[in-house]
Amino acid sequence: MIGVIGRADRAEPLKDYCLGLLMPMERKSVEPLAAVTAPSRVAAKHQSLLHFVGQAPWSDAALLARVRDWVLPRIEQRGPIRAWIVDDTGFPKKGKHSVGVARQYCGQLGKQDNCQIAVSLSIANDAASLPIAYELYLPHSWAEDPEQRKKAKIPAQITFRTKPQIALEQIRTAKAEGVAPGVVLADAGYGADGGFRAGLSELDLTYVVGVQPTLSVWRPGESPLPPKLWSGRGRPPSRVGRTDKHKPISAKALAEEFDAETWRTIAWREGTNTELNSRFAAVRLRPASRDYNRPEAHAEEWLLIEWPEGEVEPSKYWLSTLPADATITQLVNTAKLRWRIERDYQELKQELGLGHYEGRGWRGFHHHASLCIAAYGFLVSLRETIPPSTPALAQGRQTPGLPDRYRSRGSSDPTRAARPDLNPDHQATPDCGPGQPSATMSVLHKSHGQSASASQLMTQ
């Protein structure tokens, strides 16, 4: 990674920052990282790391590309890339000065609140996943305020874009760079955007994306009416049509028309304690969204619907351009692979401090995130190439010491894990895919093999 940060004198802060992120500390902002990596000269290290992450002009895209190229072959040892996963994550904020902060929906809180939102693209197979692109969503209030832009040092080329537009640009870049292709997966926040779906099709990418129950669809076998015959006067009609007797319905209304035989119970993976399964139905049909403005009907796609047993109505809907001969099991397994990004974000936030950056600027926000992803990529590569740690190794780990005079702003004990169940010594077993052995996330150990791997990654 040293080769992409521009200058040799950035090598030491790069190594220290990533090493600090891998340490079992509760708070991973710059000050605690300095204390744990240089306990005898905290002030000097603090200034070095602060400049490196907040001001040094190295490229986040170049760093993430190098991490991707390093980790991808290790992920592919367990199977080819199956999916490109689009998602966003929120960071609750109390103040209003951090770049991009606005009152908006925050998934972490499950409600509207003051937060930052970042959009990411990840590559995934059944065994592992890795974010390969990451960008802050800039609300209108920030994009159009010259004073805020100046204070946060937002690059001039960054203008307002919707989250689907940001994601589509990340996907275009990944395809142009030759990233191993996969089916694009996204939730309804992206799939409900017709422009996003159309953009994926224009890129010849297959998708399984969430949609809203209000999605307008034609019943299986139906299509909009062809353009009316030309009367000989004015412009010839060129748009498909509908009438009061021939019109589309909502995806939810269609689901309620299905008989009991249409629904099948499908299992998609083994959970911690039991098999995960639910009831699904899948039909081929034509979406009807805004087709009255088109010269022809939309192409046929799959509509996949989940209606859990005992629920009063369906819970999830997806549109998919998987081939017409795809099975319902293939549709479900592909749609449910999106769960991997939730695990990524959980580990990036709770293990690696993704949301701990305390600066307010555009560059620092992205630099910190890129370094967290780099550290995460290192851990993913270890998890995919070596067996899980034995109890003996776990018992041999030592938490790094901090100087007695140091007191973290965030807690009284900066070496304590943020959550007991995510402590690196804790033996909890996360969900894993069918046929895949479980493995816990591990912090950097001082064993010979892992130290060599870390050095090799840093010097690439």
Which sequence spans correspond to the domains of the chain?
2-187+342-459, 188-227+239-337
Sign for the CA dihedral angle at 50, 54, 55, 58 comes to positive
Q: Which two tokens stand for residue 98?
A: 């951090």
- Angstrom distances, CA of residue 316 to CA of 209, 211, 241, 407: 11, 8, 29, 47
Confidence of residue 5 (pLDDT cuts 50, 70, 90): confident
- At residue 138, φ and ψ (nearest 5 deg) are -105, 110
Question: At 239, is the pLDDT very low, low, confident or very high (cuts 50, 70, 90)?
Answer: confident
Q: Which range is least confidently modeled, 118-122, 182-186, 247-251, 401-405?
A: 401-405
Determine if the pTM surpasses 0.85.
no
How does residue 456 score in pLDDT terms, banded at 50, 70 and 90? low
C-alpha to C-alpha distance for 68 and 143, rounded to whole angstroms: 30
Give the separation between CA 443 and CA 36, rounded to whole angstroms.
Answer: 14
Instruction: Provide the token pair at 90.
Output: 């929120």
Write down the pLDDT at residue 236. 77
The pLDDT value recorded for residue 4 is: 81
159, amino acid identity: T
Q: Average pLDDT, stretch 342-349?
A: 93
The per-residue pLDDT for range 183-228, each reduced to its tens digit, is 999 999 999 999 999 999 999 999 999 999 999 999 999 998 887 7
148: left (phi over 0), alpha (psi -120 to 50) or beta: alpha
CA–CA separation, 20 and 345 (whole Å)? 19
Task: Output the CA–CA distances (angstroms, integers) from residue 445 to 196, 291, 396, 448, in the order listed.
Answer: 42, 57, 9, 9
Q: What H or E segment, with its residue span, contains residue 34?
A: helix 30-37
Average pLDDT rounded to a whole number, residues 415-428: 35
Q: Which residue has the tokens 């940060």?
A: 5
Neighbours of 157 (CB within 10 A): 5
- Give the confidence band of 232 by pLDDT, cuts at 50, 70, 90: confident
> What percent of the chain is predicted at pLDDT more than 90?
67
> CA angle, 361 as apex, 359 and 364 as ends, to 5°?
70
Question: In angstroms, rounded to a whole number, what is the distance separating the alpha carbons of residues 384 and 436?
Answer: 11
Task: Give me the sign of the Cα torsion angle 161, 165, 171, 173.
Answer: negative
**Residue that has been written with the tokens 């293939």 in this structure:** 330
Q: Could you tell me the two tokens for 40?
A: 């005898």
Start-end of H helices in 129-210: 140-143, 146-152, 163-176, 188-191, 194-202
pLDDT at 11 over 50: yes
Beta partners for residue 249, in sequence order:
217
- Decide if 381 contacts 1 (C-beta within 8 A): no
Per-residue pLDDT band at 76 (split at 50, 70, 90): very high
pLDDT of residue 386: 65
C-beta atoms surrounding 284 within 10 Å: 12
Q: Is 90 exceeded by the pLDDT of residue 242?
A: no
How much is the mean pLDDT over the chain? 85
* Predicted local confidence at residue 294, as pLDDT: 83
- Residue 6: pLDDT band by 50, 70, 90 thresholds? confident
Q: What is the pLDDT of residues 278-287, one digit of tens each?
A: 999 999 999 9
The answer to whether 32 and 25 have CB atoms below 8 angstroms apart is yes
Lowest mean pLDDT among 215-224, 301-310, 450-459: 450-459
Our CA angle for 359, 362, 366, nearest 5°, is 85
pLDDT tier at 422, thresholds 50, 70, 90:
very low
Beta carbons of 439 and 383 less than 8 angstroms apart: yes
Cβ of 57: how many Cβ atoms within 10 Å? 9
| Rounded Cα distance, 147 and 134, in Å | 25
Residues 2/12, Cβ–Cβ less than 8 Å: no
Is the predicted pLDDT of residue 114 greater than 80, yes or no?
yes
Using the predicted structure, report yes or no on whether residue 434 has a pLDDT greater than 50. Answer: no
